[in-house]
Chain A
Amino acid sequence: MPSGGGATSKILGLVVVLVLACALPFLMSGFRVFQFTQVYIYAIALLGLNILTGYNGQISLGHGAFYAIGAYTTAIMIDKWSIGYGWTIPTAGILCLVVGFLFGRPALRLEGLYLALATFSLALAVPQILKYFEHWTGGSQGIVLSKPKAPWRLPLNEDQWLYFLTLAILIVLFVLARNLLRSRSGRAIVAIRDNHIAAEAMGINSSLYKSFAFGVSAAYTGIAGALSGIAIAFVAPDSFNVFLSITLLTGVVIGGLATISGAIFGALFIQFVPNWAQEISKAAPWAIFGIFLIVFMYVMPHGIAGFLRLAWIRMTRPTVTGSKAAGEARP
């Protein structure tokens, strides 16, 4: 991949995508801009979950809980203490980092499916816990917020401003994730997934890195939750039911496990496919969604990102995959 030609075309591709992303809010209606803002928010959450599930090999069915904690952190800070929304986003991230790390410490004694169940209990519990602290959370009535206006007299409406804010945060978090995963820590995280006994034999502190991955993952999801609270301008326990956690996991797998770009594709999938399913059949939208899911899994076993990478390799190197090469390969 780091070969000269590939890298330039990759950068060129990124620039084109970025220009398109920046032009989008000026070409589309407010409703579409809002939908794409949602896509970016989901993408941040999916990237977080992918660090845990794709790179570190831990399954979480409870990331909806961190999403909720992020959203409520923002909502309570804005509503009760009148703090500027800009401050609430990093706060939500840090809080979820701590909560995720602390939850990761005992949880990492559990492996695979047992961890999935433990995190699932978190997803089940959080909406109810939110109702108990009614004084802070507004109970099941939730908290209503106002949408922020664009600062510095930027000529943007509220939807466009939120879009660019989310896009900027998305880019920063993607770059950070990329750097993290290519660092020493990133290699340790992946090594634990591949063979934790071998990794420990090489001197990697398995439990520390697992908790660390859990914390970072939770922080990403918490930031996504905070942005979602601001974009929707309303939080309530009903917004964060168990289904959200399952949707996030679906997005990660469909997008492509252990790929960074997979988060975007997964987010596009969980945002738009349920709507298409509803357009196709009002009576059984989830059956249609299920069919989509099966088709995607069957056609793209490595997720959308894996599929695109494969297609890209085939397209750019026609001679290698041509009939001659294939013929030679056969004995």
Chain B
Amino acid sequence: MTLSKRFLALLVALGVLSIAGAGVGTAQTVVGVTATEIKIGNTNPYSGPASAYGTIGKAIGAYFKKVNDEGGINGRKINYISLDDQYSPPKTVEMVRRLVEQDQVALLFQTLGTPPNSAIHKYVNEKKVPHLFVATGATKWNDPQHFPWTMGYQPNYQTEGRIYAQYVLKNMPDAKVGILYQNDDYGKDYLKGFEDGLGDTAKKLIVLKQSYEVTDPTIDSQIVNLKNSGANVFFNITIPKFAVQAIKKANDIGWKPLHFLNNVSSSLGTVLKPAGLEASKGLITALYMKEITDPQWKNDKGFLDWVAWMKKYYPEGALDDQSNAFAYNVAILMTQVLKQCGNDLSRENIMKQAASVKNFELPLLLPGIKVNTGPNDFAPIEQEQLAKFNGEIWATFGELVDASKK
């Protein structure tokens, strides 16, 4: 009697074990997902030197609030946990480990900054946590062979640099190019893309390169040097503060080169207006988003929807800050990926769906630019279009340049 009971118990135990074993064998890892919730982790610089970017993390939270108010995704609400990393890599490591190991998030989304993401790159790939649509313009996030759990988002700086180079080669083959760049990874990435794009002719065409530190008060002397070098093409790799100075100074000293302004500083509201719309005439840039301070979009549906959402869900956010438009776009993309996942929210499937976005349009991308990813393409946005400032708006011209087709 007791023996048969024991035998039964053993059988049951074996049964349970084999089921558990089978479960382990085929299993997909589902973490941070319940019948009513999906946990998403994020780090952003809410304090410290880069805290101006913190609005991206807040705006994303505001967008997920809208998604939740409308019933969530397949009945699941998004639980968005965003922590301050102060743009300090050791802090990012600590916060991301907290999100992954303690809060048990399903995935990481839009962690911000090149150094912070570099610090967690290996860790998230060892832990096999989806690390999606990181907020940095560096080139290294599109590497699915070595880092199958990390995916970029925006067009990278090198691609943009190459686009300007192609324009120069086509339209001004005997140009004399002067370059002003910020002395850090951002400036050097642009520079590298541009020089690569010019290829063998780079040495011949580039007559002067000038750099500045982000802490410098002014770049006036660099502009004077560039003018004196006789350059007739100017590639302006500066952040908004210095872009304003450069456009003004060049105008003041009567230097009128073909002026390429990097996308980073293409805002009408924060750069061109302060620099003077007349002085800004003729600037060329490469765009992938609708510039929200550009009046040509004032009746655009995507823009109006964005304004309505801002007013309802993020009233404290600035309507002339392109970062808030950036956050809106990328949060919509994240929502789309989760919708595509259906009811299979395993980490494997989240990654698989993130890598199968096809011709998806975001409301604040330029018309015609589409998000595309694939198992070997972890660079979601790779199209850009050249635009010339005509004194009122950025008028796009030419065809969409697709960096994925070289």
Q: Which A residues are within 8 Å of any B CB, using their own CB?
A: 29-31, 34-35, 38, 128, 131, 139-142, 144, 146, 228, 232-239, 241, 243, 278, 282, 285-286
Using A131-B183, A278-B83 as known contacts, say yes or no to A234 and B89 having CB atoms under 8 A apart.
yes
Q: Measured between alpha carbons, how far is A236 from B91 in the docked complex, in Å?
A: 12
Using A31-B101, A243-B86, A278-B84 as known contacts, say yes or no to A38 and B94 having CB atoms under 8 A apart.
yes
B121 surroundings in chain A (CB, below 8 A)? 144
Q: Measured between alpha carbons, how far is A236 from B118 in the docked complex, in Å?
A: 9
How close is B187's CB to chain A, nearest CB, in angstroms?
A: 10
Q: Which B residues are within 8 Å of any A CB, using their own CB?
A: 46-49, 83-84, 86-90, 93-94, 97-98, 100-102, 113-116, 118-119, 121-123, 138, 183-185, 188, 213, 215
B118→A34 contact, CB < 8 A: no
A142→B89 contact, CB < 8 A: yes
Contact of B97 among A30, A139, A286 (CB under 8 A): A30
B184→A140 contact, CB < 8 A: yes
B122 surroundings in chain A (CB, below 8 A)? 144, 146, 233
Could you show 6 A-B contacts with beta carbons less than 8 Å apart? A31-B101, A140-B114, A233-B123, A236-B89, A238-B87, A238-B89
Using A239-B90, A285-B47, A286-B47 as known contacts, say yes or no to A142 and B115 having CB atoms under 8 A apart.
yes
Q: Measured between alpha carbons, how far is A234 from B118 in the docked complex, in Å?
A: 8
Contact of A31 among B87, B102, B115 (CB under 8 A): B102
A238→B115 contact, CB < 8 A: yes
Contact of A139 among B48, B101, B113, B184 (CB under 8 A): B184
A232→B86 contact, CB < 8 A: no
B184 surroundings in chain A (CB, below 8 A)? 131, 139-140
B114 surroundings in chain A (CB, below 8 A)? 140-141
| Interface of B: prevailing SS | helix
Most buried by A among B97, B114, B188: B97
Q: Measured between alpha carbons, how far is A321 from B389 in the docked complex, in Å?
A: 80
How close is A249's CB to chain B, nearest CB, in angstroms?
A: 17
Minimum CB distance partner of B96 in chain A: A31
B138 surroundings in chain A (CB, below 8 A)? 141
B119 surroundings in chain A (CB, below 8 A)? 142, 144, 232-234, 236, 239
Minimum CB distance partner of B126 in chain A: A147
A128 surroundings in chain B (CB, below 8 A)? 213, 215
A131 surroundings in chain B (CB, below 8 A)? 183-184
A34→B115 contact, CB < 8 A: no
A29 surroundings in chain B (CB, below 8 A)? 101-102
A243→B48 contact, CB < 8 A: yes
A232→B185 contact, CB < 8 A: no
How close is B297's CB to chain A, nearest CB, in angstroms?
A: 31
How close is A154's CB to chain B, nearest CB, in angstroms?
A: 20
Q: Measured between alpha carbons, how far is A232 from B89 in the docked complex, in Å?
A: 8
A141 surroundings in chain B (CB, below 8 A)? 114-115, 118, 138, 185
Using A144-B122, A278-B84 as known contacts, say yes or no to A234 and B93 having CB atoms under 8 A apart.
yes
Minimum CB distance partner of A34 in chain B: B97
Q: Measured between alpha carbons, how far is A278 from B185 in the docked complex, in Å?
A: 30
